[in-house]
Amino acid sequence: MRVTLAQFETFFWVARLGSTQAAARQLNLAQPTISLRLRDLEEALGVRLFDRVGRGLKLTHEGGELLERVGTILNEVTRIGELSGAADTMPAVVRVGVPETFALVCLPALLQNMQAEHPALRLEFVIATSTALEAQLLQRELDISFLVDATSDPRLRLTLLGSQESGWCAAPSFGLSSPVRPSDLQHVPIVSNPHPSAMHKYIGEWFRSGGLEPPRLNSCNSLSVIAHLVRQGVFVGFLPRKMLEPDFEAGTIQKLASRPPVPGVRIYGGHRVAESSPAILAILRAARQVVEQFRFLQPV
């Protein structure tokens, strides 16, 4: 039996969405048609592509290997469609992971760009810490993500977007003088994203660079809530500067230089190797334009 492009497309969407029901909705097909295509593909290849886990489906080892190859094939088919100008007439969904700072500063402009340039593209956003987003990207729960200090996992292709300035900040009520040193903050209450986030790592490294062990940190997984707690004088925080510019101008939060200085945090756009679809590349292009427009990142 010969394999068909329709079988590959069905397999791809079931793998991405985790169920035949979701793939049927995406492809506007009846669920029995989806199941039949998968069965025929498995018979043609002589391998099992999915294991059933609860109500969903999980790729087998052979299924994971096939997905990378099928992703390449479908990408090429889409590019061929672009030659005739037909690509943007085909509705698609892309799952995008976004760290909170990027979401607060850049997401509105990114959405406006994508709606203007690619109106048929539907985006589903997940807002979380970079560590959580990278894990979801590797588990195929996301298609593309913006990542803070991403690991060098060979399964990911990373595009460096720039360097994000972060640093210590506090309400004026703390009476801290700039620059601050590790000894200045050893006994003040500090809040951070939880371990193993990039923020938690940078705080620990900064204290150790001054010969001190980091104090016991309070944790919160929301940057906007951390900023609110810093604004209210509850904690001292280590936060991206860009998201706090209105507070610095109003004087509600004090920007603190540090000794030793804190290096910039690198921001990447990441997706899985061999899955760089035209939609993913369009999102990366739009992201570059937006970070330049808002001067969100510094060049590296």
Burial code of 268-298, b = ≥16 C-beta within 10 A, e = fewer? bbbbbeebbbbbbbbbbebbeebbeeeebbe
- For residue 193, CA distances in Å to 22, 131, 188, 244, 274 come to 33, 10, 17, 17, 32
Q: Answer whether residue 163 shows pLDDT above 60.
A: yes
* Residue 300, domain member (yes or no): no
* Residue 220, domain member (yes or no): yes
* Residue 31, domain member (yes or no): yes
Same domain, 176 and 228: yes
Mean pLDDT, rounded, for 64-81: 78
Number of neighbouring beta carbons within 10 Å of residue 20: 22
* Residue 47, domain member (yes or no): yes
Mean pLDDT, rounded, for 256-272: 92
78 pLDDT band (50/70/90 cuts)?
low
* Residue 55, domain member (yes or no): yes
Same domain, 159 and 285: yes
Pair of tokens at residue 3: 């394999």
* Residue 99, domain member (yes or no): yes
Give the model's pLDDT for residue 279: 85
Domain count for the chain: 3
Where among 43, 66, 83 does a domain terminate?
A: 83
Q: Answer whether residue 84 shows pLDDT above 60.
A: no
CATH code, domain carrying 218: 3.40.190.290
Same domain, 170 and 158: no
219 pLDDT band (50/70/90 cuts)?
very high
Q: Answer whether residue 13 shows pLDDT above 90.
A: no
Same domain, 14 and 156: no
Cis peptide before 260 (omega within 30 of 0): yes
Question: Is 90 in a helix, a strand, or coil?
Answer: coil
89 pLDDT band (50/70/90 cuts)?
very low
pLDDT in tens, 175-203: 999 999 999 999 999 999 999 888 999 99
Q: Containing domain of residue 116, as a range?
A: 91-164+266-293
CATH code, domain carrying 113: 3.40.190.10
Question: Is 272 in a helix, a strand, or coil?
Answer: strand
* Residue 149, domain member (yes or no): yes
Mean residue pLDDT of the chain comes to: 88
Dist. CA 25–CA 245, nearest whole Å: 43
Q: Percent of the chain scored above 90 by pLDDT? A: 57
